Amino acid sequence: MISFENVAKKYDDGTYAVKNFNLHINEGELLVLIGPSGSGKTTTLKMINRLIPLTAGYIRIKDKMISDYDIHELRWDIGYVLQQIALFPHMTIEENIAVVPEMKKWDQNKISHRIDELLDMVGLDPKTYRKRLPHELSGGQQQRIGVARALAANPPIILMDEPFSALDPLSREKLQDDLIQLQNNIKKTIVFVTHDMSEALKLGDRICLMRNGEVVQTGSPEELLQQPANDFVREFVGIDQSKGEMVDIIEAVHPANPMEMEHLPVISRKVSINGILVLLSEHEQLAVVDGDEKIGTIDRQGMIQILSGRMEAMK
């Protein structure tokens, strides 16, 4: 879907924000770019929609170089969600959501239907919120509108630049959960920038860890947890040293009937982090036992949420 080939961004003073960057992002994948401040992750994101020009290399979307797209059409087909929510303050919520569909000359009935559909999708009642102004909404609600606006013209790609980092912890966690559920339904190609490893582990299908403008390691959350490429990855992931620690996974167990669990591998509700990571790398789902009783199932996403919550508590 999106391919980077030897991409670099060099500034006039000779410094590189990004160098020798190679990556392929699959269609329908949520790819997280993460790294310390100054690692080049936001620059990489902004090169996709040509907000920042490349110095060298190529970026392709569906095998077509981004330089070959009309820049307006390119940006209309890429949703963009910022940390600074950036809603137009004097426009109503419906007007904010309608901006790109109107630029694309959609029929007004189609736009109106799309506004209702998107407000429902992000959990805001259209009758209540369509006519409100941004200042009448909480920060979390404004960010939901930012997501709705990015989705308005049904673009195949969504870019999200630390969209939840300015929110309070409860709003942030709720929006992370909502994004997971939303992505399960819409299957967009999402490139998500964060500096927070717990957020990356929770959201990412894959994670690309950057340092000094270069890729250090790319892989699934489990791969970064179990097979860190070097000491920098181990330190940044921050959980390698405790993989032998025992945890209670009860909070992530899904109720299930005995028939559903009959042929699943079994694991105790109290288990080592390393033990469950190994099993979940081999099986999509496990049956969880408490004593002699099977109490439900756990999957990859449930365990990653436990680990991300544990990392959040360690901060």
In order of their start, the domains of the chain are 2-237 (3.40.50.300), 243-314 (3.90.1280.20)
- Report the pLDDT value the prediction gives residue 86, as an integer from 0 to 100: 81
- Report the pLDDT value the prediction gives residue 312, as an integer from 0 to 100: 66
Q: Which helix (H) or strand (E) holds 92?
A: none
Report the DSSP pairing between strands 2-10 and 56-61.
antiparallel
d(CA 262, CA 256): 10
Looking up tokens 């439900």, which residue turns up? Answer: 296
E runs forming strands in the chain:
2-10, 16-25, 30-34, 56-61, 64-65, 78-82, 157-161, 189-194, 206-211, 214-219, 246-248, 266-268, 270-272, 285-290, 293-299
- Report the pLDDT value the prediction gives residue 251, as an integer from 0 to 100: 87
CA atoms within 13 A on the CB side of 258: 2
d(CA 278, CA 163): 32
Residue 155 burial (CB count, 10 A):
18
d(CA 222, CA 231): 17
d(CA 93, CA 119): 9
Dihedral pair phi/psi, residue 272, rounded to 5°: -75, 150
- Report the pLDDT value the prediction gives residue 308, as an integer from 0 to 100: 74
User: Which segments of the chain have a pLDDT < 70?
Assistant: 239-244, 311-315
What predicted TM-score, i.e. pTM, was given to this entire model?
Answer: 0.83
Report which DSSP code applies to 315: -
Q: 296 in helix, strand or coil?
A: strand
Are the CB atoms for 196 and 165 separated by under 8 Å? Answer: yes
- C-alpha distances (whole Å) from 284 to each of 30, 261, 270 are 18, 12, 19
- Report the pLDDT value the prediction gives residue 97, as an integer from 0 to 100: 97
